[in-house]
Structure 1
Amino acid sequence: MLHAGWAHTDARLDAEFRYWPELLSADAAHGTSLFARMLPLMAFGPGYWARTDATAHEELVGALSGMIAPGTARQTAADRTVDLRPLLGRITAPTLVPAGAHDRIIAPEQQQALPTGIPKARYAEIDAGHGAPAEDPAGFAARIAAFLDEQPTTPAESAGDR
């Protein structure tokens, strides 16, 4: 399963990933929570915003502030170099690509490139953002369960897939 993944870092993703370390540096230097405040704006879709209020949102921002790992800036630098397109065809396992229709971090078009390059992949769009597992946990789990239910359970059943 590849949720909220992307095949290659294009110009828009690169611009975003250049911005994140600046926010992290400002937070470290000034004791702010700019990065944590930006995340829900980019990660959550309309479902989150319809169900939340200012108090709950501030609690989330506080929780996110405490969860940002020290290596986030290094990971973001690595994210800028992603280009999996030449490798996607080597994935032989059945693959589910659940993508958030309202993901503002990794656009659905970027996520759709994954199943295009993976022979046994299926794309499943979810009415959520980047944080689909948190926004719609039941719907997200149902898509995964349905995909797994469709997979062969014995070696004899999967022999036809080789």
Structure 2
Amino acid sequence: MANAKEKSPPLPGVKQNHAALQFEYNARRFGFVLLLLIIAAALLGLFSGGYFSETTKTNPTHSVQVEYQRFGRLQSAVELKITLTGQSNAPLTLRIGGEYMARTQTDNIWPQPDEMHSEGGELVLVYQAAKPRKDFTVWLYTNPDRPGKTVTTVTVNNQPGLSFWQFIYP
């Protein structure tokens, strides 16, 4: 009987390539861990909505707050929630600029503005005050048109604005 540690003779017609066998071994060993890391990152929101993606930013005077997703997908709905705090019954002029107009398509704005136009590459929304209000929230539902990093600015009534970025995956 042959010893178990003794090499068996190669099978006839089968030629083994040790480099290919080593590559397969490494692919199995590291590929499974890489796959688990990608799945964990996706569940946490690194590629779209989730813990790492959803964030809030406020301007220095705390008059504008934007809730948004840092990461999105091309041609998938992205929601922006813009809250204007401490507003009186004066008309509100909300300007959304930066690369917003060039890189995204606005599907829906709620509540509908009294006036809406574009000016100098910015989307301008005007809300006339019907009654006194403390906080006012505008939801924008958009569809990104181009992948990559998009920088957007939000300004209200020529007060200090705020700038934020989103990364859109292809």
**In which range does the TM-score fall when normalised by the shorter chain?**
under 0.3
Between structures 1 and 2, the one with greater helix share: 1
Higher RCO (C-alpha 8 Å, min separation 6)? 1
Relative to the length of structure 1, the TM-score reads: 0.26
Structure having the larger proportion of residues in strand: 2
Bigger Rg over Cα: 2
Query: Could you state the TM-score of these two structures normalised by the residue count of structure 2?
Result: 0.25
